[in-house]
Structure 1
Amino acid sequence: MIFGAGIILINNNNEVLLLLRDNKPEIPFPNQWDIPGGKIEDGETPDVTIKREMFEELGLKELSDLRLFKIYTSDNLTDFIFWKRIDLNPEKIILNEGQRLKYFNLDEIKKTKLAFNYNKVLEEFFEEVVKNE
């Protein structure tokens, strides 16, 4: 079983910040859009993983007030999905992983095949959280 953690970073326009994965054939879902996150390392809690990954991938420090959305489990993966409302400027973020960042609204998300079946996760997020905020 692999344990992972991802985060839905949503701005005040209800757009989600997605990361275009590197185009390397040795990684899962190369060249596909993804929510930021990664594998939970030994001794880490899921929220610590998110904070580490956001620093490693996006250079974000002091990411606080994370909220757990859901835990998704499949045959080989348990994925902790957090969320945070935050307005970031993708143009000012220097990526250490991935090709680029871009905000997507729900309609754009529905038209884009995301890595790790995150289309389903994001559609549930909009239905259960954004709609009720």
Structure 2
Amino acid sequence: MKKQIKVVGAVIRNNENRILCALRSPEMSLPNVWEFPGGKIEKGERPEETLVREVYEELGCEIEVFELVEDVLHEYPSIVVNLLTYEARIKTGRPVPNEHAKLAWKKISELEELEWAPADIPTVENLMK
């Protein structure tokens, strides 16, 4: 049986209703695909707490987390990922790509132009409805 991990992602919107998209760096697993910022839930953490911590570590800004957008179970060749994606907004700071290759603010209609990590695709499809 494959190992399963629980991860979270943030659909961060700005005042123009654009969504923050993060390009995975060449050094990351699944390099050079886009994702919603976030990361692995640590033992004892609530998903919302993980999201606040991960976004601060990855992007250097503080977010406020809102409702769940999507709960995805995606099977990769070596691992099963349970991705919980939440609506969020920036409270303080400006996002900087500390771990990602780059960041982009995209309109919802532009999301499908990007090559997304497979686990993020259901969230993209949900947002575009």
Q: Give the TM-score normalised by the residue count of structure 1.
A: 0.78
Measure the CA separation in 2 of the matches of 1:74 and 1:99: 23
> Cα–Cα, structure 1 residues 106 and 84, in superposed 2: closer, same or farther, change >3 Å?
same
In 1, Cα distance between the equivalents of 2:25 and 2:114?
Answer: 17
Give the unaligned 5+ runs of structure 1: 128-133
- The residue that corresponds to 2:69 in the other structure is 69
Q: Matched residues in 2 for 1:19 and 1:56: separation?
A: 14
Distance (Å, rounded) in 2 between the aligned partners of 1:126 and 1:87: 25
Alpha carbons 2:64, 2:89 under 8 Å: kept = no
In the alignment of these two chains, the number of paired residues is 122
TM-score norm. by structure 2 comes to: 0.80
Change in Cα spacing, 1:17 to 1:50, as seen in structure 2 (3 Å) is: same
CA distance in 2: counterparts of 1:43 and 1:88, whole angstroms: 26
Runs of 5+ consecutive residues of structure 2 not aligned to the other structure? none
Indicate the structure with greater strand content.
Answer: 2
SS in 1 for 2:64: coil
Q: Contact conserved, 2:74 with 2:119, CA < 8 A, in 1? A: no
Deviation at 1:34, TM superposition (A): 1.2
Which SS does the other structure have where 1:95 is aligned?
A: coil
Q: Which structure dedicates a bigger proportion of its chain to helix? A: 1
Letter in 2 for 1:41: E
Closer/same/farther in 2, CA of residues 9 and 42 from structure 1, 3 Å limit: same
Amino acid at match of 1:123: E
> Where does structure 1 differ by over 4 angstroms across 4 or more consecutive aligned residues?
85-89
Query: Does residue 51 of structure 2 align to residue 50 of structure 1?
Result: yes
